[in-house]
Structure formats: C-alpha cells, structure tokens
Structure 1
Amino acid sequence: MINRINEILFYVGAYAFEEEPGIRLCGLNPQNGELRLIHGTAGIKNPSFVILNADASRLYAVSEQERGAVAGYEVDPGDGRLTPLNSAPTEGADPCHLALSPDGGLLAANYSSGHINRFALDERGAIGGMTALVQHVGQGFRQDRQEAAHAHSIVPDMDGSRVYVSDLGLDQIMSYRVEDGKLTTLGEVKLPPGAGPRHFVFHPDGAHAYGINELNNTVTVYAYNPVQGNLEIVQQAATLPADFAGENYPADLHLSADGRYLYGSNRGHNSIVRFAVGQGTGMLRDPEWTGTGGNWPRNFAVLEDYVIVANQYSDNVVVLRRDGGTGSLTETGRSLAVKQPSCIEPVRRAN
C-alpha cells in the first residue's frame, strides 16, 4: 500500500451525501504528527462507521439512513483505493456499528430500529445472505432517548462464539451465542436506569470488559467469565471531571494494546479521558483529560504513540501525542479538515 516515511495510514468514515467522498484514506507522519488526505471514495450515503478485515484487504461500511445498508469494498494493496464489492440492506434503520466475527461473518447494530444482523461473507469477502436478524423490544428510563430499543454496538468475544450488544434504549448489554450463522440469546446484564450503554470492549486479559454509557457519563467495568460468558458489574467510573457542569455525551471507548490504559471520548466536554487500568483487578483509576482540538469527538483510534480523533461537529481530524509509559495525551496542534468525520480505522499491518 502507498507509503512514505513509514506513514501510518487510516480510513475516515463520515456523514456525507452519496455523491461526496464519505470514506477517505489519510496518512499520519510518525515523525512530527503531520496529517494528509490521500484520496476519497464516494457512492455511499453516511458511511459513519467503517472497519477493515485482518489483512486490510477488505473494508466494510454502514450506510446510516432510514433504509439502512452495509457495503463491502476491495482495498487496492498498492494505493489503498476502494473498489465496491456489493451492498445489502439491513432491513432496519440507521446501522451505526459493525464487527467481523471470527467465524467469518459480518455483524451489524441498527440504532433506530433496535435490531442486530449477521451476514455471511463469500470467498471474495463480498456480503452474502443475512443469516440472522434479532429484534430488541422494550424501553428504558428516559422517554426522550429510551422510548424504544437502540442497539448501538455489537462486539464478538475473543473466540467468536458469543457477541455482546450494547442497547442504549434498554440499559442492557445483551449476549448471544453464535452457531451456524445464527444468534441465540444467552442473557443480559442490566445497567443503572438511564445509563445508556453505547460502546464496549474486552480487555486482553480475558477476564474484564468495559462499556461507556452515553446518558449518565460513566464507564462500567465488568468482570468477565470467559467460560460461561457472564458479565458482572464491579465499578462505575465518571468520564468527566467533578467540576464540569455542562451537557456531555460520552461516545467511543478503546484500550491501549498492552491493556494498561483505557480511553473514552466526551462529546460536550470535548475531551479524551484516560484511565490507568489496575493489573489483575481491571479497576480504573487516575483519570486525566485532554482536549480534542475540536467539537464532538465521536470516534477515535489509539496507536502506540498517537491517538487520532474524529471531531464530527468541527469538521476536523486531530492527532494527539501519546506517552506509551504513562498513557498520557498531549495536543500536537496537528489537524486535518474533513467534513463531519465519525470514524477512524487504522490500517494495522506492515506496509
């Protein structure tokens, strides 16, 4: 793939009209944090969330709209340009999150219609038939945001035998068994009323998981039983400093590769909060906040030396310097103009 000075490459998904370049390939100079736009891909409306497969040969995107869809692309190994493979309807509204399952399927969460999908992928990586559709039903504590189910993310466990769905509308993390392409309900863990779970990650120790809650400004720490698949709430940590009284909606959540630090984004406070993770306990401590150099940090990616942030409302992608030893972040002043960026997907392979 195209490369200069060992450039770090990443794709940006965005809210865009079909004729606009909603998916862009960008580069980060690891020497000085400089960002550049390489090229863009049009032809899909609101590709607000994008993911790459393990060898970065295929990219998948949602089309977040009332008649939702998912789309697949072949990635040119030389210049990173995208060639459409195909697309498929999710039979619902506003798909907002995707995951690739180790069993070879594509998983999707549909926010407004409150359901999840699994699609088969063929030998070319094209999207095949829908093998599962599970509808969530119910409502939560807040009538303004939890009047119905709102599936916001879908995350497989490490071996792909189960998936975990954060439903903002129901205040639940719901678990499913994956078998022969089907999703069978296993159980759920209930969060405090009005929490609004959004994104979810597993710790590499296999014994803990974390969820960020959009409506009550917290991160939940879970003890995880990898044999039974159970989650148990063990801590709730605030995403905001105690003296902040403004409106805020946490969004994205990521661990560092070594599992020592957890990061979450605050939309409103416009910051990334960094927590130290207790070894063995998984508990969070010593929060630090760093400004994102923009407005509404919807999504971000954690690299070894940098964190790349998509600031949706200020139309910019910003890079923060990361200290691998302390996990602390500092602003670099480096920014790239991108209209309504909503997702950062690094190309995690040797170039």
Structure 2
Amino acid sequence: MTHSISRRSFIKEAALVSLAAEAGLAGAKTIPEKQLLFVGTQTGPASKGIYAFAWDANSGSLHELGLAAESDNPTFLALSPDNKRLYAANEINEYQGAKSGAISGFTVDRAAAKLIPLNTVPSTASGPCHVAVDATGHTVLCANYSGGGAASFHADAQGHLSEAVSEFHYHGHSVVADRQEAPHAHRATVSPDNRFVYINDLGLDCIHIYRLDAATSKLMPNPSVLQWTAKPGSGPRALRFHPNGKWAFCIHELACALEVLKWEPHSGALTSIHRVDLLPKDYHQPSLASEVVFDRQGKFAYAAVRGYDHIMTWAIDPVSATLTLLDRTSAGGRTPRHIAMDPTDSWLLVANQDSDNIAVIRRDKQTGKLQKAGESYPQVKPQCLVFI
C-alpha cells in the first residue's frame, strides 16, 4: 500500500465472442478450457471488482472476458490449493458500520470465467491489503494495513469463511514519520511446512511470527522467536519463500531493497543472509518497492519498484543465496504494483496501477533476462494478478 504514489481509463470490449469463434463455438456462453487470469482492482467509476482474462502462453496474449465478480476494492487475491475457491481482500475502511475492511470468498466457475460469491466477513481492522490461504485450503489470513493488525479465518468444506478465529492489533511506530507513524501490516505468508505464519509490518520494521494450528486455523505467538527485525526505515512489505524452502525473500518498500533471509524450520526463525539495493546509485527520485517473484526452478528473482517503474532481474546463487544483478527492464507502464510469472515461466506480467494497463514481457528461460519491450493490455487500476 502506498500514499506517496497514488493508488487511486480505458473502456474495455469483451472478447468472449471472438474466443468462442476461435473454438468453433460461436454464440456459446462458455469459454474454451484455457488458462485464466483473474485481476483484482481498485474500484471506482470505471472498475467494479475482479476481472477475468483468457491467457494464451504460446503468443503471450490476453483476451478480456469481462467482470468476473463485482466486489468492493478487491486489491489482493488468493486461490485455494485446489483452485476451486478464490478469496479477496476488500481494502475498505468501513464494513457493516464498523471500522473494518472485509474478506470475500468465491467459488471459481472456470467454464464461464466467473466467480460465484460465497460469503464476506469483517477483516477485524481497516484497510486489509493482503490475503493468503494455507496448504490445507481451510485457513485464510489477512493483513490489515490501515488498522495495523492481522487475522485468521476458517474456511469450511465449501469455502465459506468463519468470523475471525484469531486477531492481532499491533502498537508502536518506527523512524519514517509519514509512513511508520503506526503499525501497518502488509503481508501474511505461510511457511513451506504450513506450521508458521509471518506477518510483514511495514510500520514497525518487523515480521511477526506465529505458529499455525491448521485444524482450527488459529494463530499462536511463536514461543521460540516472536519476530524478525529489519533495519530502521526499511518498511518490510512483501515476503516470498524461495522454491527450495530454505530462504525467504523480503521486499523493503521504503528502503527499496531486497533482503534474503534464512528460514529455520524447527523454530520458525528468520536470519538475514544478503541484502541488495534495488535502485541505481545515481537514481534519486521517490520510489517504493512492491513485489518479488521467482521462476519455478528458483534460479532467478524479479523485483518491481514503483516510481522508478522498472523490474530488476537477479541471478540467485544456489548455495549462498547471493544475488547478482543481471538487468533492469521497463515495467511497461507506471507504478508496477504487482507482478506474476505465467505458468510456463516464459512471460512476466506486470499490473501497472497508474497507467491502467497489464504489461506482458517475454522471458528467456535460460538467461533469465526479460525483453526490453512487451505487449500492453488495458485494465483500470490493476492491483493483483492470479493465474488459474
């Protein structure tokens, strides 16, 4: 979440008829069995919720399928492990008359490229900006940015959400006066073994560590180590575990840095291994780092920075986790809020919030490098990209 760079158009035409014609099904109401992309957005006059696209990995092209579900400011999305349900963080400050955001659940209707509402529950504090699902598909987690807290929910066999079974409200501040005046939870991440949950707190420069009871979806303070602490003013925003399950990569929004952390599976502890700056030394314009992703083999990491509006490609040493910068590539638009690797590892997609577009950039699987220019597809205020 950012206040320095605005978080708040193109008129879109549905491609459903042309897709049906391509499949020899002109006039049909369902789409061919292709890969789908769901896009969470900031809502307003020109955006109403979560949108669906058909994805063609051969050509790296998106075909718009229209509104999948109307939803209030669904700025982050997460799929259940079986891809049958999708959950959205409704990043609002009031829900049902209370000072809270909301978490919404949907059943995925793949054939129609639609999301069927299940239920919506309070997030327990205002401004939820992230949602995650554990390995069982029965624990849903959220990070409440504005309200400075986190919560967990239990999803039943059909995917319906309970009221919060755990909630935490943090206190304190750090050193950046306009961004760290209070706690700001920004990410909820489940460990590879599904035993721990990590809550990135941009406002307190730390990552809170909890034990997860997967049977009940309850979070409990971790007795071995309660948190990992970043350098003051870092603003730890995003956390993603490496495919090898040994390291976690942390994006520091305010410091525009990427830090590699060693994960200790017995205690849940995190320990810093390596940290790199994301901006060139001669670049001094306001910028905020946003996201990191890997290829599926874990050889390369890709980090996005808003303001600078580039994607950095890093080679990962398989033994030491040391990062080597390979390239800097234009994000293909303004304010890259989220990035996603397509299922074939051949393309990187970028949700550019302030230029209202999704950029599709070809990737070389051998070298890890991205092409300098890619295709662009209109989407009002894209925030999150999820393939299914």
- Please classify the TM superposition score into its range, dividing by the shorter chain length: over 0.9
Distance in structure 1 (CA, Å) of the matches to 2:209 and 2:295: 24
Q: Which residue of 2 aligns with 1:327?
A: 368
Distance in structure 2 (CA, Å) of the matches to 1:253 and 1:34: 22
Verify the 8 A CA contact 1:18 1:45 in the aligned structure 2.
Answer: no
TM-score, length-normalised on structure 1? 0.94
Verify the 8 A CA contact 2:153 2:163 in the aligned structure 1.
Answer: yes
Aligned to 2:312, the other structure's residue is in SS state: strand
Verify the 8 A CA contact 1:292 1:331 in the aligned structure 2.
Answer: no
Q: How far 1:105 moved relative to its partner?
A: 0.7
Structure 2 residue 338 is the aligned partner of structure 1 residue 302: no
Distance in structure 2 (CA, Å) of the matches to 1:48 and 1:341: 8
Distance in structure 1 (CA, Å) of the matches to 2:332 and 2:190: 32
Q: Choose which of 221, 227, 234 in structure 1 pairs with 2:260.
A: 221
Verify the 8 A CA contact 1:19 1:44 in the aligned structure 2.
Answer: no
Q: Which residue of 2 aligns with 1:171?
A: 205
Matching of residues 156-305 of structure 1 within 5 Å = 156-179=190-213, 180-186=216-222, 187-303=226-342, 304-305=345-346
Q: Choose which of 177, 181, 190 in structure 2 pairs with 1:147.
A: 181
Verify the 8 A CA contact 2:234 2:254 in the aligned structure 1.
Answer: yes
Distance in structure 1 (CA, Å) of the matches to 2:47 and 2:175: 38
Verify the 8 A CA contact 2:148 2:185 in the aligned structure 1.
Answer: yes
Aligned to 1:313, the other structure's residue is in SS state: helix
Aligned to 1:246, the other structure's residue is in SS state: coil
Q: How far 1:244 moved relative to its partner?
A: 1.6
Structure 2 residue 126 is the aligned partner of structure 1 residue 93: yes
Q: Which residue of 2 aligns with 1:15?
A: 42
Verify the 8 A CA contact 2:311 2:329 in the aligned structure 1.
Answer: yes
Which structure would you say has the larger Rg? 2
Between stretches 311-320 and 95-104, larger displacement belongs to 95-104
**Could you tell me which amino acid in structure 1 is paired with residue 105 of structure 2?**
G
Indicate how the Cα distance of structure 1 residues 42 and 78 shifts in structure 2: closer, same or farther if over 3 A, else same.
closer
Q: How far 1:2 moved relative to its partner?
A: 3.3
Verify the 8 A CA contact 1:12 1:24 in the aligned structure 2.
Answer: yes
Structure 2 residue 87 is the aligned partner of structure 1 residue 51: no
Distance in structure 2 (CA, Å) of the matches to 1:66 and 1:127: 20
**Could you tell me which amino acid in structure 2 is paired with residue 92 of structure 1?**
A
Distance in structure 1 (CA, Å) of the matches to 2:197 and 2:386: 21
Q: How far 1:122 moved relative to its partner?
A: 1.0
**Could you tell me which amino acid in structure 1 is paired with residue 145 of structure 2?**
Y
**Could you tell me which amino acid in structure 1 is paired with residue 40 of structure 2?**
G
Matching of residues 72-83 of structure 1 within 5 Å = 72-83=105-116
Indicate how the Cα distance of structure 1 residues 276 and 203 shifts in structure 2: closer, same or farther if over 3 A, else same.
same
**Could you tell me which amino acid in structure 2 is paired with residue 240 of structure 1?**
L
Distance in structure 1 (CA, Å) of the matches to 2:62 and 2:309: 20
Q: Which residue of 2 aligns with 1:137?
A: 171
Between stretches 327-336 and 85-94, larger displacement belongs to 327-336
Structure 2 residue 113 is the aligned partner of structure 1 residue 113: no
Q: Structure 2: which 5+ runs fail to align? A: 1-29, 95-100
Matched pairs, number: 345
Verify the 8 A CA contact 1:50 1:345 in the aligned structure 2.
Answer: yes
Partner deviation per Cα, 1:241-299 (whole Å, 9 max, x = no partner): 22222111000111211111111111011011111111121121124111011000000
Residue identity over aligned pairs, in percent, reads: 33
Matching of residues 64-75 of structure 1 within 5 Å = 64-67=91-94, 68-75=101-108
Indicate how the Cα distance of structure 1 residues 190 and 246 shifts in structure 2: closer, same or farther if over 3 A, else same.
same
Structure 2 residue 60 is the aligned partner of structure 1 residue 33: yes
Compute the RMSD of aligned alpha carbons.
1.6
Distance in structure 1 (CA, Å) of the matches to 2:180 and 2:367: 38
Verify the 8 A CA contact 1:211 1:221 in the aligned structure 2.
Answer: yes
Aligned to 2:209, the other structure's residue is in SS state: strand
Distance in structure 1 (CA, Å) of the matches to 2:32 and 2:303: 30
Verify the 8 A CA contact 1:19 1:43 in the aligned structure 2.
Answer: no
* Structure number with higher strand proportion: 1
Verify the 8 A CA contact 1:46 1:63 in the aligned structure 2.
Answer: yes
Q: Structure 1: which 5+ runs fail to align? A: none
Partner deviation per Cα, 1:121-143 (whole Å, 9 max, x = no partner): 01111112311001111101111
Structure 2 residue 168 is the aligned partner of structure 1 residue 125: no
